[in-house]
Amino acid sequence: MQRLTTTKMRSVNSYPFSTRKRVFDITLAVFASIVLIIPIILLALCVKLTSSGPVFFSSDRVGQNNVIFRMVKFRTMREGTPIVATDKLASPANWITPLGRFMRRTSLDELPQLLNVLVGDMSIVGPRPALFNQEDLIQERTARGIDALLPGITGFAQISGRDELSIPHKVEADAEYLSLCSFWMDMKIILITAWQVIAPRGVQH
User: Is pLDDT above 70 for 150?
Assistant: yes
Which whole-number Å values give the CA distances from 189 to 8, 24, 25, 32, 182, in the listed order? 24, 14, 14, 16, 11
From start to end of 55-166, where are the E strands? Answer: 56-62, 68-74, 123-125, 152-154
Q: How many CB atoms lie within 10 A of CB 137?
A: 21
CB atoms within 10 A of CB 132: 15
**Higher-confidence residue: 165 or 69?**
69
For the entire predicted model, the pTM comes to 0.84
Whether pLDDT at 19 is above 90: yes
Residue 58 has pLDDT above 60, yes or no: yes
| Angle CA 117–123–127, to nearest 5 | 135
Band the pLDDT of 176: cuts 50, 70, 90. very high
Segment 8-17, tens digit of pLDDT? 444 467 999 9
What's the confidence (pLDDT) of residue 99?
92
Is the model's pLDDT at 152 over the cut of 90? Answer: yes
Q: What is the per-residue pLDDT across 79-128, written as a single tens digit (0 to 9) for each?
A: 877 777 776 666 777 788 989 989 988 889 999 999 999 999 999 999 99
- What's phi and psi for 193, nearest 5 deg? -60, -45
